[in-house]
Structure 1
Amino acid sequence: MRKSIATVSLSGSLTEKLAAVAAAGFDGVEIFENDLLSTPLRPEQVRERAADLGLSIDLYQPFRDFEAVSAGLLARNLRRAEHKFQVMQRLGATQMLVCSSVSPDAADDDALAAEQLHMLAERAAGHGIRIAYEALAWGRHVNEYLHAWRIVRMADHPQLGTCLDSFHVLSRGSDPGGIEAIPAEKIFYLQLADAPLLAMDVLQWSRHYRCFPGQGDFDLAGFMTHVLRAGYSGPLSLEVFNDVFRQASGSRTAVDAMRSLIALEESVAARLPEATRLGVPPQPVVPTGFAFAELATSGDARLGELLGQLGFTRTGVHTGKPVELWEQGRARILLNTEGDDPTLSAIGLETPDPAGSVKRAESLLSPVLPRDRGPRDAPLDAVAAPDGTQLFFCRTAQPDHPSWRDDFDPAEPAPGEITHIDHVALTQPWHHFDEASLFYRSVLGLRPRESLELADPYGLLRSRAVSDPTGAVRIALNVAYVSSHPSHPDIPRQHVALASRDIIATARRLRDAGPVVLAIPDNYYDDLEARHDLGPERHRTLRELGLLYDRDEHGEFLHLYTVTIGRIFFEVVQRIGGYRGYGAQNAPIRLAAQHARPPAEPGVPVR
C-alpha cells in the first residue's frame, strides 16, 4: 500500500523533512500547517520540491474549530476556509483534515454540525478539494469516531468523508470493529500512531507520547484489519507527535517510521491474508543463540586479565586481524585491540539461515555493513543496530557452512563453570530507545518485554528486554538519564552476562583473584534476609561472595557484577528452575555501587 507521513512527525525545516521522507521511501506526505507557515518557500515551490522528490501531497492539516457555531462565527470560519483552499490549490493538495471542534463556542447539535460541514464541503468542491472530518479524542462534543461518521452521513455530501486516526480511536478505548460498517468511499484518510499505555490526560498523551507502530502498546494490526475490511484503499499515513522525535535526526526518524509501516503491514497480512495489496518482507529468522561478543579494548590488557580471572582461556588469534578469541564452554569473547575505550562493539548471533537473516534486515531498511574481509576469512555479514553495535549472522558448528571460528584456528577451551552468554545489555542513546525496541522486534523477530523505569542515584534508568521465545537470545536495552548531573556524568555502560552452572564456585574463584567483584553494601543483605528466608548458611554465603538474589514465579536468580573497565563490565548469572527475569529489582543497588566505584583509569590493574 502507499505510505505517507505527516511532517509534524519529524524534526527540521520543511525542506529537510521532505528530503528525509523521500529518502526513506515514502510515497506521499501530509503537510502540517505550521511547517508551511514557517518555511520561506512559497506553496508553489513546496509543490515543486515535493514533485521533484517523487512525493505526492496527500493531506493539508489541520483546520480547527469549524462546525456547530453561530451564524457570525460560521461566516468567519468560511472566510478562513476559502483562504486555506486557495493555499491548498497552490500547494497541490486536494484533501484537508478538519478536526472536531474543541471551542467553547461550538454547540452540542449534530444537525447544525452536519449542515455547516455540508456547506464547507460545497465550498471545497469548487476548488476540487475533499474534506476529511476527524473526531479528536478530546473534542468538545464529538470525540468518538462513530459520532463523527454519523455527522458525515447526515451532511450527505460527496466531498465530505471521515478520517480515522488510530490514536483518537484507541486512546479512548473505543471498539474499532464499528469501522467495518463505514462505506469504503467515505473513509477518506487513515492516520496511524502507536502509544504506550499511560494514565494521563488524553491531550497531553497525544501531544507528547505518540510513537510509531510497534513501539507502543496499541493493537494497531487489529485496528488496521478493521479498516481494510471496510474497503479502505488510500495511503497508510503516520501522524506522530513525540518530543523525542522532534529532537532526533529527521532522516533517521523517517527510516524508523518506514520500518514501522513495513512491520505493521506484515502483522496485518498474517491476520488478513486476502489483503493482497499489503507488502510482506521475507520471514524473520529468529536467532538461536550468541556466537560471540566482541569487545574493543584499545590495547587495554585489563579485559584479558579479567577474562582469565573468570576462567576463560585464550584459544586463538585471528589470522589477519588484531583480534583474540577467549572461550569457556560455549561462551566466546573476542578482544579487538583496535577501537576507542573498552566497549562492546559487536555481537555474533547464531542463525540457521544467515542469508535469510540478511534479506530480512535489508527489507526492513538495515543494509549490510561494508567489511574488510581477507581471502581466508569466513563470509560473515553484519548490520548495525541503532546504537551502532554490529550484529553478525553466524553458523558456528554446521558442517555445511564455513565457521567464523576457523579464522582463529582455535584450541579447545579449558573446562569451567561458565557455559554460555546468558544476555547482553546495551545502553542506547536516549533518543534511540524506541527505535531500538522496534529494530530488534522487527528485524530479528525478538519479543519485547515490558518497559521498566529503575532508580539511579543520580537519575533514572529505563530498560526493556527483548528475547526469542526460548530465552536463548536475551538483549536488555537500557537508557540512563543522568548525564545532566554535574558531579556524576553519565557513563553509557554495557555488559555481557555469562551463565554459570555453579555461580558459588565462580564467585569464590573471583574472590581469590582480588577485588574484581563489585562490592555490595551490607544493608542490601540485611534487607534480603527480611524479604526472603533462605536459611542462615545461604544468606551468609551470598553476603560473603557479593552475590545478589531474585526470584519470580518460575524460579530463582543468583548474580554478581565485576568492576567496570572502560564502558564494560561482566555479570555472572545462574538461573534456577526456569527464572525468566534479569534481576531488575537489584539494578538500583548495582547502579549505586558503580557510582561509588567509577571505572579505573587505563593502565590501572584490575585487582
Structure 2
Amino acid sequence: MRTSIATVCLSGGLVEKLHACADAGFDGVEVFEPDLVAAPQSPEEIRALADRLGITLDLYQPFRDAEGVSEAEFADVLRRAEAKFALMRRLGMDTMLVCSNVATATVDDDRVSASQLRRLGDLAAAYDVRLAYEALAWGRFVDDYRRAWRIVELADHPNVGVCLDSFHILSRGHDPKGIEEIPGERIFFLQLADAPALTMDVLSWSRHHRLFPGEGSFDLSTFIGHVLRAGYGGPLSLEVFNDTFRQTDPGRTARQALRSLRWLEDRAAERLGAEVPAGLARLPAVRPPAGIDFVEVRGQDTTPVEVVLEQLGFDFRGRHRSKQVRLWSQGAARIVCNEQQAIGQAPAVSAVGFDVADPGTAARRAGLLLAPPVPRRTYAGEEELRAVAAPDGTEIFLERGGVWVDEFEGGAAQSYDPIVSRVDHVNLVQSWESFDEAVLFYGSVLSLEPRPVAEVAGPAGLVRSQVMQSADDGVRLPLNLLPAGQRGHAQHVALACRDIVGLAADARARGLRPLPVPGNYYDDLVARFDLDDGIVATLREYDLLYDRDTAGEYLHFYTPTVGGVFFEIVERRGGYDGYGAGNAPVRLASQLAADRPR
C-alpha cells in the first residue's frame, strides 16, 4: 500500500522535510499547515518540488472549529474554508482534514453538525476537494469515531467522509471493531500513531508522547486489520507528535518512520491471513535468534578487559588470522577483543553477534527495514558475516553461531568443565534520541518482543529500562535510558553460570576485586527475604547480590568498569526471569562512588 507521513513528525523546514521523506522512500506526505505558513516558498514551488521528488501531497491539515457552531459563526467557517480550498488548488491537493470542534462548538446536535458539513462539502466540491472529518479525543462534543461516522452519514455528501486516527480511537479505549461497519470508500484517510501506556490527559499525551508503530503499547496490527476489512484503499499515513522527533535529524527520523510502517504492514498481513488485501507489503519471515553468539569489545587497548576475562576463568582462544582481534571464551560465551580502528577509544561494547537460522534471509529483512549495512572486509577462506548498524551505532551481526571460530589461531582449547555457560544478556545504554528507535529496531529486525517498561531509581535520577526478549528467553537485551549527565554507568555483558559462589571464589583467587556492596544492603536483605544467616554471610563475603520472586532466585555480582564496559555474573535458579532490578540502585551508587576521583 502507499505510505505517507505528516510533516509534523519531522524537524526542520518544509523543504527539508519533503527531501527527507522522499529520500527515505515515502510515497506521499500530509502537509501540516504551520509548516506551509512558515515556509518562504510559494505553494506553487512546494507543489513543483514534490513533483520533482516523486512524492504526492496527500492531505492538508488541520482545519479546525468547523461544525457545531451558530449560523453567524458558520458564515466565518465558510469564509475560512474557501480560502483554504483555493490554497489547496495551488498546491494540487484534493483532501483536507476537518477536526471535530474543540473551541467554538455550542450546539451539541448531530443534525446541525451534519448540515454544516454538507454545506462545507458543497463548497469543497467546487474546488474538487474532499473533507475527511476526524473525531478528536478531546473534541467538545464529538470525541468518538462512531459519532463522527454518524454525522458523516447524516451529511450524505460525496465530498464528505471520515478520517480515522489510531491515537484518538485507542487512547480513549474505543472498540475499533466498529470501523468494519464503515464503507471503505467513505474512509477518506487513515492516520497511525503508537503511544506508551500513560495515565494523563489525552491532549498532553497526544501532543508530546506519540510514537511510531512498534515503539509503544497500542495493538496497531489489529487496528489496521479492521480498517482494511472495511475496504479502505488509501495511504497508510503516520501522524506522530513527539518532542524528541522535533529535535533529531529529519532524514534519520523519516527512515525510522518508514521502518515502522513496513513492520506494521507485515504484522497486519500476518494477522489478516487469507484476508490480506493486495498491495500490503510483506517482509521475509525470520525466527528470533537462538542466542547471543558473541559480544565484541573494541578499544585502543583491550588488555584490561582481557585481564578481567582471565580472572573470570575465560580461555584465550587465539588471534584472528587476518585481523587485530582476539577471542576469549568459556562454555558458549564468547568475547571478541578488537583493537582495530580504535585509536583513542576506551574499551566499550561495539558489536553483538546473534545466532540466526538463516543469515541471508535475516539480512534481507534488515535491508527492507532500512537497517544500514556494516561493511566487513573478508578474505578467502573466511566466513561472510552479515552485519547492520543499530540506532546507537552498535554493530549487529546475523550469522550461524560459532561458524567463524576456526579463524582464530594460536590459543588454547577449553581444558575444564566451564562454570560460565553462555551470555545471559547484554545491557545497551541508549541516548535520549535513540531509545524509542532502538525498541522498534530490535523488535522489527530481530523479531524480539518488548517486555513491560521498568523505571529504576539511581543516584542521578530515574533509569528507564525496556527489555527486548525472544519468546524462549534465548536472547535478552535490556535497553536503558539514563538521566542526562549521569556518570558511573556503562554498557555491560551478563554471563550465565551454574555455580556463582564457586566462580566468585575462583575469580578472587585470580585477583578479581568485584564491585563492592555496602553492608547496609545485606542488613536489608534479611528484612526483605528472611534469609538464613549463613546464606547472607556467603553473599556478603563475595559481594553477591540477591533477588527472589515466586518462580525462583537470582544471584549476581559485578566486575569493576573498564573504560565503558563491565561484566555481570548471574546464576538463575528455578524459573526466575528478571534482572534483579531492585538491586540496580545499589550497583549504580557503587559505580558512581568508584568513578569519583580519590
**Normalising by structure 1, what TM-score?**
0.95
Distance (whole Å) between structure 2 residues aligned to residue 16 and residue 143 of structure 1: 34
Report the AA paired with residue 180 of structure 2.
Answer: E
Partners of 1:516 and 1:40 lie apart in 2 by 63
CA distance in 1, matches of 2:489, 2:530: 36
Separation (CA, whole Å) in 2 of partners of 1:548 and 1:414: 30
Partner of 1:452: 454
1:208 is matched with 208
**1:391 counterpart residue number:** 396
Letter matched to residue 243 of structure 2: D
Q: Encode CA deviations 1:117-137: one digit per residue, 9 max, x unaligned.
A: 111111110000000000000
Partner of 1:486: none
C-alpha separation in 2, matches of 1:492 and 1:97: 47
Q: Which residue does the alignment assign to 2:245?
A: 245
Secondary structure in structure 1 of the residue aligned to 2:554: strand
The 5-angstrom pairing of residues 88-487 of structure 1 reads: 88-273=88-273, 274-275=275-276, 276-338=278-340, 339=342, 340-396=345-401, 403-409=403-409, 410-415=411-416, 416-483=418-485
8 Å contact kept, 1:491–1:567:
no
Q: For residues 104 and 161 of structure 1, what CA distance do their matches in structure 2 show?
A: 22
Of the structure 1 ranges 592-601 and 362-371, higher mean CA displacement relative to structure 2 is found in 592-601
Q: What 5-or-longer segments of structure 1 have no aligned partner?
A: 398-402, 484-488, 602-607
- What is the rounded CA distance, in whole Å, between the counterparts of 1:544 and 1:575 in structure 2? 20
Q: Deviations over 1:148-189 (max 9, x none)?
A: 111111111110001000110111111111111111111111
- Please list every run of 5 or more consecutive structure 2 residues that lacks an aligned counterpart in the other structure: none
Comparing 459-468 with 103-112, greater Cα deviation is found at 103-112
Q: CA deviation at 1:198?
A: 0.8
The more displaced of 22-31 and 66-75 is 66-75
Structure 2 residue matching 1:597: 3-state secondary structure: helix
1:47-103 deviations in whole A, cap 9, x for unaligned?
111111111000000000111212221111111111111111111111000000012
CA contact (8 A) 1:328 1:414 kept: no
Structure-2 change in CA distance of 1:375 and 1:46 (3 Å): same
Counterpart in 1 of 2:83? 83
Alpha-carbon distance between aligned partners in 2 of 1:62 and 1:491, rounded to the nearest angstrom: 46
Do the aligned partners of 2:301 and 2:346 also contact (CA within 8 Å) in 1? no
Which secondary structure does the structure 2 equivalent of 1:543 belong to?
A: helix
Amino acid at match of 2:354: L
The 2-side partners of 1:377 and 1:198 are apart by 50
State the SS of the aligned residue for 2:505. Answer: helix
| Inter-partner Cα distance in structure 1 for 2:400 and 2:183 | 52
Contact persistence 2:321–2:407 (CA under 8 A): yes
Is residue 594 of structure 2 the alignment partner of residue 589 of structure 1?
A: no
Partner of 1:604: none
Q: Deviations over 1:519-558 (max 9, x none)?
A: 1111111111101022111011111111111122221100
Q: What is the distance in 1 between the residues matched to 2:42 and 2:401? A: 59
Q: Quote the offset at 1:414 in angstroms.
A: 3.5
State the partner residue of 1:19. 19
Question: Shift of residue 356 of structure 1?
Answer: 1.5
**Superposition deviation, residue 386 in structure 1:** 1.1
Higher alpha-carbon deviation: 332-341 or 124-133: 332-341
Instruction: Give the letter for the 1:343 counterpart.
Output: A
Alpha-carbon offset, residue 599 of structure 1: 8.1
Tell me how far apart the structure 1 counterparts of residues 504 and 154 of structure 2 sit (CA, whole Å).
74
Cα–Cα, structure 1 residues 599 and 305, in superposed 2: closer, same or farther, change >3 Å?
Answer: farther
Give secondary structure in 1 for the equivalent of 2:76: helix
Query: How far off is 1:584 after superposition?
Result: 1.2
Q: Tell me how far apart the structure 2 counterparts of residues 320 and 599 of structure 1 sit (CA, whole Å).
A: 40
CA contact (8 A) 1:285 1:356 kept: no
Contact 2:263-2:444 at 8 Å conserved across structures? yes
Q: Which amino acid aligns with 2:389?
A: A
Amino acid at match of 2:582: Q
Local SS of the residue matching 2:423: strand
**Structure 1 range deviating more: 508-517 or 309-318:** 508-517
Task: Identify which of 528, 531, 536 aligns with 1:534.
Answer: 531
SS state at 1:272 partner: helix
CA contact (8 A) 1:330 1:419 kept: yes
Check conservation: 1:28, 1:58, Cα contact below 8 A. yes
In 2, Cα distance between the equivalents of 1:27 and 1:194? 21
User: Is the deviation greater in 494-503 or in 452-461?
Assistant: 452-461
Given the superposition, is the C-alpha separation of residues 124 and 491 from structure 1 closer, same or farther in structure 2, using an over 3 Å criterion?
Answer: farther
Give the conservation status (yes or no) of the 8 Å contact 1:312–1:414: no
- Counterpart-to-counterpart distance in 2, 1:324 and 1:550: 35
Q: Could you tell me how far apart the structure 2 residues matched to 1:365 and 1:219 are? A: 23
Amino acid of the structure 2 residue aligned with 1:392: F
Contact 2:308 2:512 in 1 (8 A): no
Distance 2:119 2:53 in 1: 35
Tell me if the contact between 2:456 and 2:585 (Cα under 8 Å) persists in the aligned partners.
Answer: yes
Sort the Cα spacing of 1:152 and 1:259 in 2 relative to 1 into closer, same or farther, 3 A.
same
Distance change >3 Å, CA 51–CA 492, structure 1 → 2: farther
Conserved 8 A contact 1:565-1:600: no
Separation in structure 1 between the aligned mates of residue 185 and residue 13 of structure 2, nearest angstrom: 34
Deviations 1:374-411 (A, max 9, x none): 233221111111111111122245xxxxx211211354
Equivalent residue letter for 1:309: Q
- Secondary structure in 2 aligned to 1:586? helix
How many Å apart are 1:116 and its aligned residue?
Answer: 0.9
Residues 100 and 133, structure 2, Cα contact 8 Å, conserved in 1: yes
2:38 alignment counterpart: 38
Pick closer, same or farther for the CA change 1:515–1:482 going to 2, 3 Å: farther
Aligned counterparts of 2:382 and 2:445: Cα–Cα separation in 1: 25
Secondary structure of 1:430's match? Answer: coil
Q: Provide the C-alpha distance between the structure 2 equivalents of 1:300 and 1:172, rounded to a whole number of angstroms.
A: 53
Q: Is the 8 A contact 2:290 2:475 kept in 1?
A: yes
Q: Does 1:497 align with 2:499?
A: no
Report the equivalent of 2:51: 51
Q: 1:251 to 1:588 in 2, by over 3 A?
A: same
CA separation of 1:332 and 1:167: change in aligned 2, threshold 3 A? same
Length, aligned pairs only: 591
- Residue of structure 1 in register with 2:569 after alignment: 572
- Say if 1:564 and 1:599, in contact at 8 Å, map to a contact too: no
Q: CA deviation at 1:206?
A: 0.5
Decide whether the 8 Å contact of 1:135 with 1:142 is kept in 2: yes
Aligned 8 A contact 1:448 1:467 in 2: yes
Q: Secondary structure at the match of 2:482?
A: strand
TM-score (norm 2): 0.97
Q: State whether residues 311 and 511 of structure 2, in contact with CA within 8 Å, keep that contact through their aligned partners in structure 1.
A: no
Q: Distance in 2 between matches of 1:109 and 1:290?
A: 60
**Is residue 488–residue 588 contact of structure 2 (8 Å, CA) maintained in 1?**
no
1:505 Cα offset (Å): 0.9
- Asked if the contact 1:60/1:97 (under 8 Å) is kept, the reply is yes
Asked whether the equivalents of residues 300 and 339 of structure 2 are also in contact (C-alpha less than 8 Å), the reply is yes
Distance in 1, matches of 2:552 and 2:537, equals 21
Contact 1:482/1:490 (CA < 8 Å) preserved in 2?
Answer: no
What's the % identity of the aligned pairs?
53
Distance in 1 between the 2:328 and 2:596 partners?
A: 23
Offset at 1:453?
1.4
